[in-house]
Chains A and B, each alone.
Chain A
Amino acid sequence: MQTVNQARTLVKFGVQKTNYVSGQGVTTDYEIIKVKIGEDEDGKDIETSCFYVEWLNAYGSVAIQQQAEGVLRPARVRMKYVKAVYDALIGDKPVIVYLRGIVDDAHAFILASAADNYLNENQMIEFAVKKREVR
């Protein structure tokens, strides 16, 4: 039975959002996924965009082979199942994973595999990521 063993790495997820403005055309940015985690005493939603995951970098010959093929900084990510995150990962819009929650190009990763809802149990998501190359 596979589980999330050490969810110590903070990440954020950004989903591509394209907006069209009359007279200006299209603008594209990445909207950070937020989920409700509770309510305060006034009944207002408390939301978070921070998710702790098990981030396992590839190393050794596997990493060297992948990097030779242009897959930079490959890693396997496991996290607790979060519906909003899973839906975004399997959706048709590009998703960026921001390592340590830092929203910049140096910490931006993209999916290197489809996200898997492990055993369809809605308990754990597993996916592979690679560095998002900015040209």
Chain B
Amino acid sequence: MSLLSDVQTKLDEVLLPDGVLSFHLRRTAVATVGGEAAQIDDAYVVYRFSPARPTWGDGKPLFDRYYINVSYYFKNDKNTANSQTASDRMDAVKAKFLADPRYQVANDKMDIPDDGSGYVGINVEFIIFKLSQ
């Protein structure tokens, strides 16, 4: 399983039952989920990858590291229930990733301020260790 589909699967297992969709790099307007009309939440997730320096040993890379930057965005309407829900969902996402021993939290929950779109967010950065090929 590729890293992308592994991350997408983990996020969907946690968030899709609540109607929260997860996108690689860019949010897209979605008409159907699984080919059928579905209740889609205002909140959404965008994630991206960035490689870190590999760890070397005996003159060759031993394992690679990738940062996985997961941003959960939700409508900022000063509704405390919204931000509590967001925080709870990100805790669930963290628990899901940490249940897999390859993943660790690199940077824990961090606020994303409103950029004028009406959305604010919570960001968590994971790191995965993969054996080099």
Q: Interface on A for B, CB 8 Å cutoff?
A: 17-26, 28, 93
Contacts and interface: CB of A to CB of B under 8 A. Distances in A.
Contacts of B24: 25
A18 B21 CA distance: 13
Contacts of A22: 9, 12-13, 16, 33-34
A23 B29 contact: no
A91 to B, nearest CB: 11
B32 interface: yes
A25 B32 contact: no
B5 interface: yes
B30 interface: yes
A26 B12 CA distance: 12
Given A22-B16, A26-B23, A17 B8 contact: no
Interface in B1-40: 5, 8-9, 12-13, 16, 21-24, 28-35
A38 B78 CA distance: 53
A17 B28 CA distance: 11
B30 A20 contact: yes
B94 to A, nearest CB: 19
A24 B8 contact: yes
Contact of A18 (B8, B12, B29): B29
Q: Sorted from nearest, which 10 A-B pairs have the closest CB atoms?
A: A23-B9, A22-B12, A20-B30, A20-B33, A19-B32, A26-B28, A18-B30, A18-B31, A25-B8, A22-B16
Contacts of A23: 5, 8-9, 12
A20 B21 contact: yes
5 contacts: A17-B31, A22-B34, A24-B8, A25-B22, A93-B29
A65 to B, nearest CB: 34
Contacts of A24: 5, 8
Interface in B83-129: none
Contacts of B23: 25-26
Given A21-B33, A26-B28, 20 more contacts: A17-B31, A18-B31, A19-B32, A19-B34, A20-B32, A21-B34, A22-B9, A22-B12, A22-B16, A22-B33, A23-B5, A23-B9, A24-B5, A24-B8, A25-B8, A25-B22, A25-B23, A25-B24, A93-B29, A93-B31
